[in-house]
Amino acid sequence: MFRDRIILWLRVVCFMVFAAYAWTSFNGNLHSRAYGETWHLVQGLILSVFAITSLLPLRFRKILLTLLVLGTLNLVWISWANWLNSGRGIGQLLEHASQFFAPMFLFMAVRSDSGWSKETDGVVKRCIGLTFFCHGLFAYGFISHIWILHHQTPAHYVLLVQNCLGIENIIAAAKLLRSIGIVDFIVAICIFFPYARVPALIYMVLWGFITALARPWAFFQVDSAISTLNRWIPEFLERTPHFLLPLLLLWIWWQKKDFTTAVSEGGKEQSDVPGSSS
């Protein structure tokens, strides 16, 4: 039961990421410099296939695992190309780690007898940590003369804060972002420490959801509702790993907590332990 729930959860994450990138590609917004205009339709179809196949039943295990590897490589290539075209620091690439490695999380869960192993747990935490740490670099505005380390705060970050919170003063919005960046640094480190992990994950779930929702919320226009939703809903969907993966880690922690309590009362067998085979 535990393994089935883990796999279902990660299927949803994978499907959301692939579907979001496919949607963006069909809209012609998947950074044309990475593909060229004529590639948008083809790439959209390829990503749609990956989205559908992430839902394949486990009786097609070999096909599923193969396509998950190929899908991961495709997402890594997209992120790499977009990063090179952005001219920004390395954080632009690494903050997408939770997205382009999402298929590999499912790959590891399918291959695991328990659905969750120490290796999977470690990889997921590192990717989530990278996502929030690198997001913090841009929110804080880490400036460097070395281009790969230069993370100037993008103008649209400030605009998002102003539109979502109604802050008219640009300086005040920038200062708030700087504070958020510091918190992002802290929680990215705290998830690796047992006593600080739960509050850090709770913050990640809430802030990950808010930042994902901020784009369609901030840029929604009533007079062109369909076109703005068509533009920004994929932006929300591709960021679902930023809050669904921390939420998954919280759920796993809760399962282990329940198990520990049950064992102390003599109520469960070792085989029920989440990830006990790892």
Mean pLDDT of 249-265: 69
**264 touches 32 (CB < 8 A):** no
Statement: residue 111 has pLDDT above 50: yes
Tell me whether residue 229 is exposed, middle or buried, using C-beta atoms within 10 angstroms of its C-beta: 0 to 12, 13 to 18, 19 or more.
middle
Strand partners, 142: 151
Looking at residue 86, its pLDDT comes to: 85
Statement: residue 35 has pLDDT above 60: no
pLDDT band at 65 (very low <50, low <70, confident <90, very high): very high
pLDDT band at 93 (very low <50, low <70, confident <90, very high): very high
Statement: residue 270 has pLDDT above 50: no
Per-residue pLDDT tens over the stretch 144-194: 999 899 999 988 888 888 888 888 889 999 999 999 999 999 999 999 998
Statement: residue 271 has pLDDT above 80: no
Per-residue pLDDT tens over the stretch 134-150: 999 999 999 999 989 99
**54 touches 37 (CB < 8 A):** no
Looking at residue 37, its pLDDT comes to: 67
pLDDT band at 218 (very low <50, low <70, confident <90, very high): confident
Q: Quick one: what percent of the chain has pLDDT higher than 90?
A: 64
Average pLDDT value over all residues in the chain: 88
Q: Quick one: what percent of the chain has pLDDT higher than 70?
A: 90
Sign of CA dihedral 174, 136, 150, 35: negative
Mean pLDDT of 79-101: 92
Query: Helix 118-140 and helix 170-190: axis angle, to 10°?
Result: 160
Least confident of 39-43, 91-95, 118-122, 210-214: 39-43
